[in-house]
Every structure is written in C-alpha cells, then in structure tokens.
C-alpha cells in the first residue's frame, strides 16, 4: 500500500545489502577490506584508499543523538499530517563519525510524532529499531 512517504530503493545495487540487513533486524555498514575504514551510506569505493573491495559488518545498533531538527509544514502531504515530528542524526557507537538519520520513536512501531521534541537532548543514548513502511524496513531509534 502506498503511504505517500519518500522511501529508499531497497533494490539499489550499492545499498541492497543494507536494506536486506534491516529486514532481518541487523544494522550493517560497509567496511573496506584493504584499510578497514567503515563507511555509511553505502558506496562502491573506499573514500580513504580507493579500494573497491569491502565486506558488510553488523554493528550494535547503539549510538547517541548527534543533532536533530523538528519538521514543520510546508511538507509533503504524508509528512504534513504528522508534523511537528523529529528527525535525529545518530552517531553510531562503533565509530561516531558514522551517522545515520532517522526518527526518535517511543516504540518500535510508534509514530514519528509521538515524542515531544522539547524533551530531546543532544548526546542521549539511543538504540535502533526497525519499522516496516511499504517494502522497506527503516531504521528508527528509541531511547536506550
């Protein structure tokens, strides 16, 4: 069922393993097999050593809120119905330079507007949860 949300393409060649991971409840990042640098979002080449070789490494799914915004209209209709809602950037525990954008929710299947944005604090510990929207399992975040 179309929701009106703008969603990533889970069949994208670079990102497909990432989205297959979220569907299994795993948060995977690419790790260069030449120099060991992790990278996110997925891309073909290491930005440090230019190697095309990589593996996918599962991470803990823990991190801290690095920054956030509170979205207000004008927004696309599906989002306007939920505004105001939070959008957080999470610094991942294994490497805080790896940052993932998502929403802070109160429960794994919770709505993106159920947290009072005035209660969000930079540096709060969070853990990943996965919420299916159409055919994509989106990483979202709960307070740890």
Which residues bind to Zn ion, rule: CB under 5 A? Answer: 32, 34-35, 37, 46, 48-49, 51
Ramachandran angles phi, psi of 19, nearest 5° = -75, -30
Q: Which is nearer to Zn ion, 28 or 115 (CB)?
A: 28
Q: Are 129 and 117 in contact (CB under 8 A)?
A: no
Quote the CA–CA distance of 26 and 47 in Å, as a whole number. Answer: 24
Q: Closest separation between CB of residue 41 and Zn ion, Å?
A: 16
Q: Closest separation between CB of residue 38 and Zn ion, Å?
A: 10
Q: Are 90 and 139 in contact (CB under 8 A)?
A: no
Q: Closest separation between CB of residue 21 and Zn ion, Å?
A: 21
Q: Which is nearer to Zn ion, 32 or 138 (CB)?
A: 32
């Amino acid at each position: 069922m179309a929701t009106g949300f703008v969603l990533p393409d889970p069949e994208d060649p670079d990102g497909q393993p990432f989205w297959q991971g979220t569907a299994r409840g795993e948060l995977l990042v690419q790790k260069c097999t030449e120099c060991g640098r992790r990278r996110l979002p997925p891309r073909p080449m290491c930005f440090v050593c230019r190697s095309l070789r990589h593996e996918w490494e599962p991470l803990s799914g823990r991190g801290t809120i690095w920054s956030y915004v509170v979205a207000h209209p004008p927004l696309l209709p599906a989002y306007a119905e939920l505004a105001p809602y939070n959008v957080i950037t999470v610094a991942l525990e294994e490497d805080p330079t790896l940052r993932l954008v998502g929403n802070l929710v109160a429960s794994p299947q919770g709505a993106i507007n159920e947290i009072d944005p005035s209660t969000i604090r930079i540096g709060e510990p969070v853990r990943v949860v996965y919420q299916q929207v159409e055919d994509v399992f989106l990483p979202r975040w709960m307070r740890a």
